[in-house]
Chains A and B, each alone.
Chain A
Amino acid sequence: MNAPLFPSILISCPCSDNVGQQRSRRSKTAAADPDLDQWEEEGETFDPRSPRSAFSLFPLENLLFCEDCNQVRCPRCVQDEIACYFCPSCLFEVPSSTVKSEGNRCTRNCFSCPICFAALAVTATGEDQTGPFILLCAHCLWSTSDIGITFEKPTSITAQLTAKLKAASLPPSNSLAPPESSHSRPLSPLSQGSSVYNFRPNSPIPPPAPTDEAEFARLKGYYHQQNTIASSDDFGGAGSLSRLMGMYSTGRRIGSYGTGNMPKLVKQKQEWQEIESYRVMDSEDEVIEKMKKAGFYGATSQSQRIIQSHQPRLLEDVRPLAALLRTKRAKRCRSCRHILVKPEQKVGSIRYRIRLVAGLDHNAVNYFSLQPLATHQFLLTVTNPLYDVINITLATPEKTPGKYPATVYILCPEFEVGASTDVWDEALGPEAKPKAKAAKGRKTGLAGTIWDSGRNWTSVILEIVPPHLPDDVELEEDDFIVKVPILVRSVYESDVDKDDGIGKDIKEKKEHSYWSVLEVGRIGKKVAGKVGFDDSASAGTGVAVNKALPPTPSGEPREREHRDREHRSSSRSHRESAGAAR
């Protein structure tokens, strides 16, 4: 995404080697090969600088949580299921049957500019909004009239464009061939034993090489016909595809269908055989000559060329790009197949019927420079999205892994975070807040005490002393970044599912732990004469964090502004936003 913002937190998903395997199984693997899952073992520190780590660290916002597996799920260990297709431009839903038959592009009037890729708008060129109409790019002012195409009516542009392109591009000898003849012409001459066709230079009367479009249209027509034949026999439409496949598989099975035309079709063997069908390329002299004439400004750029299906070299050959469809997807846990995310079917809706997200976090913080050998204090805030009180234990190595270790110290590694009871409590103001337990040590900054706590969040101080980097050694960019691995272990009691009907108020103890990596900041140059901001562990002035918020001209800085990181306990943040997503 963007330039790195500090501090940022990344959560490790343990799936990188064993997607969807049970824990016991994983430890077995770890025993067999201790290098693979070493951080799984007790007492081992997750090394954020290890090359393997890049594959397992994800920002919180990209993670989901599977309640059944009690495990974080990253994009790699969830499975996408397409809920619906829609056009990103007209926002119409496209039925999957249409996607199968018409392809994955919008068949309405949605096109983007072949030059700058902005959206094209149907624009009238005549007086009083009358035709002819063109597709006009409002960004670079390219229009279809630049390639000599105008439309008679402002609707069904796709059909009009297809007809016009067909008429313009196909040479008469090729396009006007009757459909029957196109079927009898073998797609793959080698399979028919006629090797003459492909060797144009030797052929006395060279048949025109089919353009990709013509070839595609012919194939499409052929398979469509096959499908129709297959579905029109005794067995009806259902399972026509399997019978279609059967037709090609073995001669033995064909007899069982008993339709007269089957053997003939098989004999013709018109399906595409990629390996055998090749074409001798046209001489490029003509294209090169054209490019010479058009000059640099008449030729397509690489991105303009590759996005087009026919890869034109010249700007005069580009075509408007039909909008690619987008999908809404449900996401399943690959391990237990439970649905983690299920969007509403409606295209414009941003609501989810089911949503189990791992955490909610997006406090962008400005580029942050660390002073070597000075003590920096950060407030680490754990927010609890659950309806149960959780106990958090944070563990971090005294020295961070890497060539130049920083010293890390969490003043209060064990604490409790209140339940996310009712949103109204917060709305009603501080009076309605349940009295925070562990009020002891409020903002004292003493070891063993929390900094501050609220309804469902608790802040603790994290002290970091960045190393002094040698001046005479060539350093990599990565060496400048202080990365602190933190093992977060949360224990909470939650109600057991009352499926059996007996258990009332039975609480089940759940435990969950994961490695996270806090990228605190970049080590800057040591400023002479200045040792640090604040060596004493008092008042959070050491937290020199500048939130990336729009300039706030006035207003008292609140305690919350000092929080460098709002780290919601990434564990099973359970959110079933059934409707009320807001």
Chain B
Amino acid sequence: MPPKQVKGEYIETDTGNKVSRKSNILGSQNIILGGKTIIQADCTIRGDLRRSGAPGQHGNVAIAVGRYCFFARSSVLRPPGKVSRGAFSFYPMKLGDHVFIGEGAVVEAAMVGSFVHIGAGAVIGKFAIIKDCVRIEEGTVVAPNTVIPPFSRVAGRPGVVVEELPETAQDSLELKGIYRMI
């Protein structure tokens, strides 16, 4: 099936992903997009940074993204890496559904849950684990290896949980509306 919009900013895939022509996606064969995800211009997604050596049980996947995610302009997704048993290796990054990554944010998390809002300019350190229903405010710097529990609002440098989100957080964090607008 040919892409629907031949001209225009976005290339739409079979599963409804809208990827900007101006985005910078490396190693796309190692990236899984769940569908209906929007990747804006100047986004960098480093699918080339995959686990070294032979493909293991997870295959070659470097970055797995769920549905209805939104990566705003100039955001960077980079799988985390570390030295383990004397050798440096990257580890896969997994994102859930309805993940918003704000303009210029840099994400090196090991896992980001569903219904997560990462504000513009935020930095998510290596191997951070962000659970579901989390709002990370603009400019927050989450330290490496940090675990953010569900229903948290995170702010500051380093980012710490400053508030619990209400029960309705999931509704306010879902991104179906944004997808329809693009």
Give the interface of A toward B (CB within 8 A).
1-2, 60-62, 64, 86, 88-91, 112-113, 116-119, 121, 128-129, 137-140, 326, 331, 341, 343, 347-350, 352, 355, 357, 359-362, 549-555, 558, 560-561, 581-582
Q: Which residues of B contact A90 (CB under 8 A)?
A: 147
Interface positions, chain B 142-171, Cβ under 8 Å from A, are 143-152, 157-161, 163-164, 166-171
Tell whether, in the assembled complex, residue B158 and residue A117 are in contact, meaning their CB atoms are under 8 Å apart: yes
Q: Within the complex, which residue of B10, B41, B171 is in contact with A362, where a contact is CB–CB below 8 Å?
A: B171
Which 4 pairs of residues, A with B, have the shortest CB-CB distance?
A: A362-B172, A118-B158, A118-B143, A139-B143
Q: Which residues of B contact A60 (CB under 8 A)?
A: 168
Most buried by A among B72, B73, B151, B167: B167
Residue B61 at the chain A interface, CB threshold 8 Å? no
Q: How many inter-chain residue pairs (CB < 8 Å) link A and B?
A: 114
Tell whether, in the assembled complex, residue A558 and residue B132 are in contact, meaning their CB atoms are under 8 Å apart: no
Interface positions, chain B 26-45, Cβ under 8 Å from A, are 40-41
Apart from A119-B146, A360-B172, A549-B181, list 13 A-B contacts with CB within 8 A.
A118-B160, A121-B144, A128-B85, A128-B86, A129-B85, A347-B149, A350-B151, A357-B168, A360-B171, A550-B40, A550-B102, A554-B10, A581-B170
Q: Which residues of A contact B95 (CB under 8 A)?
A: none
Tell whether, in the assembled complex, residue B9 and residue A554 are in contact, meaning their CB atoms are under 8 Å apart: yes
Give the complex CA separation of A550 and B85 in angstroms: 42
1/0 contact string of B168-182 vs chain A (CB within 8 Å): 111111000110111
Tell whether, in the assembled complex, residue A61 and residue B143 are in contact, meaning their CB atoms are under 8 Å apart: no
Q: Within the complex, which residue of B137, B141, B181 is in contact with A139, where a contact is CB–CB below 8 Å?
A: B141
Most buried by B among A121, A359, A360, A550: A550
Among residues of A, the one whose C-beta sits closest to the C-beta of B38 is: A550
Tell whether, in the assembled complex, residue A119 and residue B8 are in contact, meaning their CB atoms are under 8 Å apart: no
* Also in contact, A89 and B147, with CB within 8 A (given A555-B181, A555-B182): yes
Tell whether, in the assembled complex, residue B181 and residue A86 are in contact, meaning their CB atoms are under 8 Å apart: no
Q: Smallest distance from the beta carbon of B46 to chain A beta carbons, Å?
A: 21
Q: Within the complex, which residue of B8, B132, B148, B158 is in contact with A350, where a contact is CB–CB below 8 Å?
A: B132
A-B contact pairs, 24 of them (CB 8 A): A61-B168, A62-B166, A64-B167, A117-B160, A118-B146, A118-B158, A118-B159, A119-B146, A119-B147, A139-B125, A139-B144, A139-B158, A348-B132, A349-B150, A350-B133, A357-B168, A357-B171, A359-B168, A550-B70, A550-B72, A550-B73, A550-B178, A553-B9, A582-B114
Q: Which residues of B contact A64 (CB under 8 A)?
A: 167
* Also in contact, A138 and B161, with CB within 8 A (given A119-B145, A361-B172): no
Most buried by A among B85, B115, B148, B168: B168
Tell whether, in the assembled complex, residue B8 and residue A348 are in contact, meaning their CB atoms are under 8 Å apart: no
Q: Smallest distance from the beta carbon of B74 to chain A beta carbons, Å?
A: 11
Among residues of A, the one whose C-beta sits closest to the C-beta of B137 is: A2
Among residues of B, the one whose C-beta sits closest to the C-beta of A90 is: B147
Give the complex CA separation of A9 and B123 in angstroms: 31
Among residues of A, the one whose C-beta sits closest to the C-beta of B162 is: A1
* Also in contact, A138 and B168, with CB within 8 A (given A117-B160, A550-B70): no
Q: Smallest distance from the beta carbon of B19 to chain A beta carbons, Å?
A: 13
Tell whether, in the assembled complex, residue B182 and residue A355 are in contact, meaning their CB atoms are under 8 Å apart: no
Among residues of B, the one whose C-beta sits closest to the C-beta of A555 is: B182
Q: Which residues of B contact A91 (CB under 8 A)?
A: 131, 147, 149
Q: Within the complex, which residue of B73, B115, B145, B147 is in contact with A551, where a contact is CB–CB below 8 Å?
A: B73
* Also in contact, A119 and B143, with CB within 8 A (given A348-B131, A551-B73, A561-B181): yes
Q: Which residues of A contact B180 (CB under 8 A)?
A: 558, 560
Residue B12 at the chain A interface, CB threshold 8 Å? no
Q: Smallest distance from the beta carbon of A363 to chain B beta carbons, Å?
A: 9
Among residues of B, the one whose C-beta sits closest to the C-beta of A60 is: B168
Give the complex CA separation of A139 and B128 in angstroms: 12
Among residues of B, the one whose C-beta sits closest to the C-beta of A361 is: B172
Residue B103 at the chain A interface, CB threshold 8 Å? yes
Q: Smallest distance from the beta carbon of A136 to chain B beta carbons, Å?
A: 9
Q: Which residues of B contact A331 (CB under 8 A)?
A: 167
Most buried by A among B86, B97, B181, B182: B181
Give the complex CA separation of A129 and B87 in angstroms: 12
Among residues of B, the one whose C-beta sits closest to the C-beta of A140 is: B158
Among residues of B, the one whose C-beta sits closest to the C-beta of A343 is: B167
Interface positions, chain B 106-147, Cβ under 8 Å from A, are 114-115, 125, 131-133, 137, 141, 143-147
Q: Smallest distance from the beta carbon of A241 to chain B beta carbons, Å?
A: 31
Give the complex CA separation of A553 and B20 in angstroms: 10
* Also in contact, A350 and B150, with CB within 8 A (given A118-B160, A362-B171): yes
Q: Which residues of A contact B146 (CB under 8 A)?
A: 118-119
Q: Within the complex, which residue of B41, B86, B167, B172 is in contact with A352, where a contact is CB–CB below 8 Å?
A: B167
Q: Which residues of A contact B149 (CB under 8 A)?
A: 86, 88-89, 91, 326, 347
Q: Within the complex, which residue of A326, A355, A554, A560 is in contact with B8, where a contact is CB–CB below 8 Å?
A: A554
Among residues of A, the one whose C-beta sits closest to the C-beta of B164 is: A326
